[in-house]
Chain A
Amino acid sequence: MNDHKNSHLVFSLSLLLIFVIGSFFVLLFETKGYSKLQDTINEQESLYMPLSYIQTKCRMNDDISIETREHIDCLVFNQKEMKTYLYYQEGKLKELYATAEYKGSLSQGQDLFEIDDMKIEVSKTLFIITIKKGSIEKQLNIYTTRGDH
């Protein structure tokens, strides 16, 4: 009678154990899946946001040019008396809003986005901007009406 009671208890505990272990693994896989999804979303957003930002910036400014300062290629948006420099420095896409005569350092710029690299190429009226984040690279092509870069 006692043996029967013991085996019944062991069986119930084993079932509970299997349930707990099963739940643990389900939770573990769910968490991994969720964090992977989150990483993908973050990676995509952190890549598309800078591109979208640059695109809007280009849309809002007609006069765009390229300048090399401190061995860094900068995308320059020329306004009447001011200039906005957009460039990649030390792992960040930065922006510097300054007067046209400004000769200071690019390190004064504001950090915008964390990216791994940015390349700017220009061919006549076409600007090709490539941004790299992690293993993904995306390109943005912008045609301008001006031809004197």
Chain B
Amino acid sequence: MKNILKYAFPIILIISLIYGVNMTQNYSHNQDIKRIEETTKRLCLKYYSNEGRYPHDIEELINDYGLRYNQQQYHLIYHNEGDNILPTIKVYRKGKQYE
């Protein structure tokens, strides 16, 4: 019994630690996704306020409005639906299945 406890405790500790780190990473990624989406939307609205139209592609926001995000880690889908309609913005983590 004593031996079981002796081995079980470190194993449980390691599993909890891995689980905790994993959870934190997932939370951090979800927050990043939310932040990128919100920033892109805010910049789109700013772009519209200044230019009178929504940007045709994401490059316009990157080049003219300083949008920065980790392009190696996240994939940003930007769909312009017209000069007067708020574009569809979706951010996904690379390596994960889309929807």
Contact = CB atoms under 8 A, between A and B. Distances in A.
Contacts of B5: none
What band does the interface of chain B fall in when counting residues whose beta carbon is under 8 Å from A? 10 to 19
Interface residues of A, number: 13
A52 interface: yes
A53 B48 contact: yes
Interface centre among B45, B48, B86 (most CB of A within 10 A): B45
Contact of B52 (A60, A95, A110, A112): A60
A95 B50 CA distance: 18
Given A56-B52, A59-B52, A60-B52, A113 B45 contact: yes
Given A49-B46, A49-B49, A95 B84 contact: no
B30 to A, nearest CB: 19
Given A95-B86, A97-B85, A110-B86, A53 B52 contact: no
Interface of A: 49, 52-53, 55-56, 59-60, 84, 95, 97, 110, 112-113
Q: Which 5 A-B pairs have the closest CB atoms?
A: A52-B49, A53-B49, A56-B49, A60-B52, A56-B52
